[in-house]
């Protein structure tokens, strides 16, 4: 795989790369670059988590070493449970991500508490605090915080620690959803001021809920590994999918960000009177047919639910096994 092919795979379905020029230079000059993503350990793994795992899998394919930070202290600061509860979830999350296809031999899983309680790290948090305004820290947390209206002081420490994680894990690339952008930009701007390199940043999009609205646990408008095959099918079949409309269509997003990256194709099975079976080997050809109304939303939904269930099978089995043993 040449440099351009690697960049094309890394860029696939990314919202942005900061910056593309820096990424190209990294690939040209470093044989085994390192990328990381951090996750607050969660008891509900859903497609929102797996979109960044997909990007980590892309990076593994082009030769990156992957570091997965299971951010137990971050989760504690963001009021996600006791340390004991959070660490149990971290272990389950690690095994689930591996079952989803992240290659264990080329990935290292790290608990934040392994290094974030050490003296040097604490001193660096204080050094960053001296050059980061309160408003900047608050803005950085607005997209990921549990308490936006009346934030705790701990939430101001959170983005400083996330910036330092990049330095202490010695990674070249930070991966995250676009909601992480402000924290990553703080890292790019302030890490060099205390002697560390600025990271390259890859941001993945935030996928809308199945009803076309913001994904919400209270609405249940998302797909979780807790969902059975029948539940996934039920959710997909009732999802928002206006005929011929691509923008803001959650089913089209699922095809783009999950089905094609995992399978490279999508086969629609339908009656001969409706045109018979059709197999799409490119996302663009599927979009063309959908816009022209040659592909009915219900036929697309049935195909997507089938492919998603196949994609999630191993990770779902592992997740449910671990949950039942907890």
In terms of pTM, does the model score above 0.95? no
**More confident of the two residues 187 and 139:** 187
Which architecture characterizes domain 229-325 according to CATH? Orthogonal Bundle (1.10)
Tokens coding 297: 């939303």
Q: What percent of the chain has pLDDT over 90?
A: 81
**More confident of the two residues 80 and 228:** 228
Residue-range domain boundaries for the chain: 3-204, 229-325
What whole-number distance in Å separates Cα of residue 137 and Cα of residue 156? 5
Indicate whether 37 pLDDT > 60.
yes
Rounded average pLDDT over 33-37: 98
What CATH number has the domain spanning 3-204? 3.40.50.620
What whole-number distance in Å separates Cα of residue 225 and Cα of residue 176? 20
Residue 72 confidence (pLDDT): 95
Same fold, 3-204 and 229-325: no
Indicate whether 32 pLDDT > 60.
yes
Which of the four pLDDT bands, split at 50, 70 and 90, describes residue 302?
very high
Cα dist from 166 to 28, 45, 120, 183, 187, whole Å: 21, 24, 15, 11, 8
Which of the four pLDDT bands, split at 50, 70 and 90, describes residue 309?
very high
Q: What are phi and psi of 212, to 5 degrees?
A: 85, -5
Residue 160 confidence (pLDDT): 95
Residue 152 confidence (pLDDT): 80
Residue 215 confidence (pLDDT): 83
Q: Where are the alpha helices (DSSP H) in the chain?
A: 3-11, 20-29, 47-61, 72-77, 83-99, 119-130, 134-141, 154-168, 181-190, 229-237, 250-254, 260-263, 283-291, 297-325
Half-sphere exposure of 88 (CA within 13 A, CB side): 13
Average pLDDT, the chain: 93
Each residue's pLDDT tens digit, 126-180: 999 999 999 998 888 876 655 667 778 888 898 999 999 999 999 999 999 999 9
Each residue's pLDDT tens digit, 198-251: 999 999 999 889 999 988 777 889 999 999 999 999 999 999 999 999 999 999
Indicate whether 43 pLDDT > 90.
no
Least confident of 69-78, 165-174, 293-302: 69-78
Residue 253 confidence (pLDDT): 96
Indicate whether 306 pLDDT > 80.
yes
Q: Note whether 173 and 26 are within 8 A (CB).
A: yes
Indicate whether 285 pLDDT > 90.
yes
Indicate whether 38 pLDDT > 90.
yes
Residue 142 confidence (pLDDT): 74
Residue 147 confidence (pLDDT): 60
Residue 59 confidence (pLDDT): 97
């Amino acid at each position: 795989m040449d440099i351009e092919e690697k960049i094309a795979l890394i860029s696939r379905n990314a919202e942005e790369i900061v910056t593309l020029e820096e990424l190209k230079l990294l690939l040209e000059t470093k044989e085994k670059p390192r990328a990381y993503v951090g996750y607050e350990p969660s008891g509900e793994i859903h497609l929102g988590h797996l979109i960044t795992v997909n990007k980590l899998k892309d990076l593994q394919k082009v030769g990156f070493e992957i570091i997965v930070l299971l951010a137990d202290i971050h989760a504690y600061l963001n009021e996600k449970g006791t340390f004991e509860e959070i660490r149990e979830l971290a272990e389950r999350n690690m095994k689930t991500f591996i079952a989803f296809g992240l290659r264990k031999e080329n990935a290292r899983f790290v608990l934040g508490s392994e290094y974030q309680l050490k003296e040097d790290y604490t001193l660096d948090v204080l050094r960053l605090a001296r050059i980061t305004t309160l408003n900047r820290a608050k803005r950085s947390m607005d997209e990921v915080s549990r308490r936006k209206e009346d934030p705790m002081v701990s939430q101001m420490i959170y983005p400083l620690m996330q910036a330092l994680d990049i330095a202490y894990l010695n990674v070249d690339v930070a991966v995250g959803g676009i909601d992480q952008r402000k924290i990553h930009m703080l890292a790019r701007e302030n890490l060099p001021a205390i002697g560390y390199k600025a990271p390259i940043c890859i941001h993945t999009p935030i996928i809308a809920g199945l009803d076309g609205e913001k994904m919400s646990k209270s609405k249940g408008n998302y797909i979780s590994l807790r969902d059975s095959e029948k539940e996934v099918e039920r959710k997909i079949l009732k999802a928002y999918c206006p005929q011929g409309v691509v923008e803001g269509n959650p089913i089209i997003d699922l095809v783009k960000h999950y089905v094609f990256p995992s399978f490279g194709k999508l086969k629609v099975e339908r009656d001969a009177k409706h045109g018979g079976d059709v197999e799409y080997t490119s996302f663009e050809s599927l979009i063309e047919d959908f816009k022209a109304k040659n592909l009915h939303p219900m036929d697309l939904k049935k195909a997507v639910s089938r492919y998603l269930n196949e994609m999630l099978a191993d990770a779902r089995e592992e997740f449910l096994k671990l949950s039942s043993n907890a």
